[in-house]
Amino acid sequence: MAALAPFLSCWRLKADGRLMTTATSLLLPVRQDSRSLMLKVARHSEEARGNRLMVWYDGDGAAPVVARRGACLLLLRGGPSLAELSQHDDHAATRHLCAVAQALHRGRARPPPRLVTLRRWFADLLTVRDSPVSAMARALLDDDRDQCPLHGDLHHGNVLWFEETGWGAIDPKGLLGHRAFDYANLFLNPTARMAADPARFLARLRQVSEQANLPELLLLRWIVVWATLSALWHKEEGSNGAAARAVAALAGSVLASRS
């Protein structure tokens, strides 16, 4: 808590919950007069990059930023996430996710902060030799159309309800690449059971394709490469990545049937 003391004093904040510590940030629910806010201090360059992107979003599709000072970000505190809505109305949750993505992808008057390219993000997969999925990733990354700043981790748990502004995203990674990438992650969430359900997968595919104006085949390719990379990262971290592998296999099967 001592590390947060200067920010609490500067912005006249009072702690309003327990301090949460992750590998990349410190998070503390706070209050400023009658406002419920979240204080976030980046402890990793990836989080600091995401903080800068949050400022650039300026509340359009993202949690409103109240203030920023160095590695510290002060945000409005959100309510329930789309993970809860998805449990009883997945169609509505998917619709809101797509709307948030479209807002995040809109151009702004100011240039974005420095971002990490998808080619760099996919480096671990691109180095796998003699892999059809690696070759698919290269082909997708060679397509320079529809490039924009990307959230990079857009899923149900990272989209919260804000009373003042509606649904908004938190915790971006700060990437740059084809806009279709940002839709791929929703297919792996919010639970492994839901993500691997074939009927739900096909319903989401149709809905996202229509709402985001993206061809289903293009979406399928991005889902395959992203789910494969996610599974690879899980393996490197010592977990089995079964959910990501299941989605990669499901998307690959649908893609093969349509090619």
- Which residues touch 166 (CB under 8 Å, ≥6 apart)? none
Domain shared by 140 and 214, yes or no: yes
Q: What is the mean pLDDT of the chain?
A: 94
How many helices (H) and strands (E) are present in the chain, helices listed first? Answer: 12, 11
Select from 51, 76, 101 the last residue of a domain: 76
Q: Report the pLDDT averaged over residues 231-256.
A: 92
Domain shared by 28 and 101, yes or no: no
- Please check whether residue 18 is in contact with residue 39, taking contact to mean a CB–CB distance below 8 angstroms: no
Amino acid at 219: L
Residue 35 pLDDT: 93
Amino acid at 92: A
pLDDT tens digits for 127-152?
998 899 999 999 999 999 999 999 99
Domain shared by 48 and 162, yes or no: no
Residue 5 pLDDT: 84
**Bigger pLDDT: 6 or 112?**
112
The pTM assigned to this predicted structure is 0.94
Residue 241 pLDDT: 87
Dist. CA 28–CA 38, nearest whole Å: 6
Q: Report the pLDDT averaged over residues 222-248.
A: 93
Select from 76, 107, 135 the last residue of a domain: 76
Q: What is the CATH number of the domain that holds 48?
A: 3.30.200
Q: Report the pLDDT averaged over residues 72-96.
A: 96
Strands, E assignment, the chain: 14-15, 20-21, 25-32, 35-42, 65-69, 72-76, 116-117, 147-150, 159-162, 166-169, 175-178
- Which residues touch 71 (CB under 8 Å, ≥6 apart)? 41, 42, 43, 47, 48, 51
Domain shared by 61 and 90, yes or no: no
For residue 51, what pLDDT band results from cuts at 50, 70 and 90?
Answer: very high
- Please check whether residue 36 is in contact with residue 49, taking contact to mean a CB–CB distance below 8 angstroms: no
For residue 43, what pLDDT band results from cuts at 50, 70 and 90?
Answer: confident
Q: What is the CATH number of the domain that holds 186?
A: 3.90.1200.10
For the chain, give the number of residues: 259
In DSSP terms, which residues pair with 32 in a beta bridge? 35
User: How many structural domains compose the chain?
Assistant: 2
Dist. CA 238–CA 246, nearest whole Å: 17
In DSSP terms, which residues pair with 102 in a beta bridge? none
Q: Report the pLDDT averaged over residues 74-82.
A: 95
Reply yes or no on whether the pLDDT at 256 is more than 90. yes
**Catalytic residue set:** 153
Reply yes or no on whether the pLDDT at 9 is more than 80. yes
CA distances from residue 178 to 37, 182, 207, 222 in whole angstroms, order as listed: 32, 8, 19, 10
Q: Report the pLDDT averaged over residues 1-29.
A: 88
Domain shared by 106 and 12, yes or no: no
Q: Report the pLDDT averaged over residues 188-205.
A: 96
Dist. CA 42–CA 113, nearest whole Å: 16
Select from 33, 51, 76 the last residue of a domain: 76
Q: Which helix (H) or strand (E) holds 82?
A: helix 82-88
For residue 252, what pLDDT band results from cuts at 50, 70 and 90?
Answer: very high
Domain shared by 70 and 88, yes or no: no
Domain shared by 248 and 181, yes or no: yes
Residue 1 pLDDT: 67
Residue 2 pLDDT: 72
Read off the tokens for 46: 């990836």
- Residue range(s) defining the domain that contains residue 167: 82-258
Q: Report the pLDDT averaged over residues 183-201.
A: 96
Domain shared by 104 and 135, yes or no: yes
Dist. CA 194–CA 201, nearest whole Å: 8
Domain shared by 87 and 214, yes or no: yes
Dist. CA 205–CA 182, nearest whole Å: 14
Residue 237 pLDDT: 84
Share of the chain above pLDDT 70, in %: 100
Reply yes or no on whether the pLDDT at 192 is more than 70. yes
